[in-house]
Amino acid sequence: MFGGGSIQLGRVFGIRIGVDYSWFLVLFLIIWTLSDYYKDVAPGSNAFLLAVVSALLFFLSILLHELGHAWVALRNGIPIEGIDLWMFGGVAKLGRDSDSPGVEFRVAAAGPLVTVAIAAICFGLGVAVSSGADALDSAQFSNDVTGATTAVLGYLTSINLLLLAFNLIPAFPLDGGRIARAIAWKITGDRNRATRFAARLGRAGGWLMVGAGGLLYAMTGDLVGGVWLAIIGWFLASAARSAEAQADFAGRIEHLRVADVMDREPVAIPEDWPLADAEHQFFLRYGWPWFPVIDASGRLVGVVSREAVDSVPAPERATRRVGSVMARDDGSSGLRVQLDEPLEALLGQEGLTRLGAIMAVDGEGVLRGVVTVDAVRRALHGAVPA
């Protein structure tokens, strides 16, 4: 949906955290705006430093919000490709869609619950370090606040409440829209139909925000606020339109399964074979850059590449086994997919993108076929109406 190329900041619990270039622009604007605010509400303090700290803590709040989504997704077996912060907040990129309305609801609701907790903690700390009236004034952006700590905590309280209210708008792909999709999915039993419903809400909500931005400028003269609201609305409407188109397309291929498009005669190398035999009977014979590797029972255990074989000195290849140089598959490496998975589940698979193919296995992990990018393209091409 959002994001794309981003700068990696690090990893949290193994999840890649990145920032889009647009994030730096928003960071600058927030710091610039808050610097004037803190000059008024916390006289005598270093307004610029308070603004920098507040901006970074705000983005930390967004990161924690997205980590809430990610944590619940991982607990429900959904892989996380990463979290990106960008000009309109953050996005946790799920490796696949939810497989039930209950999972969809829990993943969507996790982020707002984290935001509620952050706002409550900030307000509670504000009350603890100042009078209750000061904390309330700060949360309302009143200019009567005194004290740097109270001002920062009040800002974090108010901005997280605003973030909560925005995310709970029932417009896909916002959290509120995903919650609405989960409810519609539960009622109708049809995920694609529910997605179309939520996406239409998203498009309507987005264009209402565009109109609200114009109205804000006309009534108050706030050009920056009006334009910003209109841009957010336009992005929301565009994302919802894309989600609706994707749901329509998914509806045309929902009858197709992995088993329908796979090559049912996969060529695989036993893991106990000498590298010399694998080289001559597989790599030199077929000319392929890699092969799946199976154990004695036919279960997929990994993938071996030509580079891995070449990395072993030629005199040692007669005694070294394939299993010693293969990339082992632990079930979560993106190299495999179940036979009965819908074709749609392949579209975001990392292994399909990285290797150009993905291995299809049965419930016991036995290799039953290989699905190539070309096979997926042919199936998708056949689903597009002429």
Residues marked as catalytic: 66
Q: Which long-range contacts (CB under 8 A, 24 or more apart) does 303-310 make?
A: 303/327, 303/329, 303/335, 303/355, 304/269, 304/278, 309/275, 309/278, 309/279, 309/283
Residues near 308 by beta carbon (within 8 Å), at least 6 away in sequence = 325, 326, 327
Q: Which long-range contacts (CB under 8 A, 24 or more apart) does 88-91 make?
A: 88/2, 88/232, 88/235, 89/62, 89/163, 90/59, 90/62, 90/63, 90/65, 90/66, 91/1, 91/2, 91/3, 91/66
Q: In a 10 Å sphere around its CB, with 0-12 CB exposed, 13-18 middle and 19+ buried, how is residue 112 labelled?
A: buried
Is residue 192 within 8 Å of residue 207, measured between CB atoms?
no
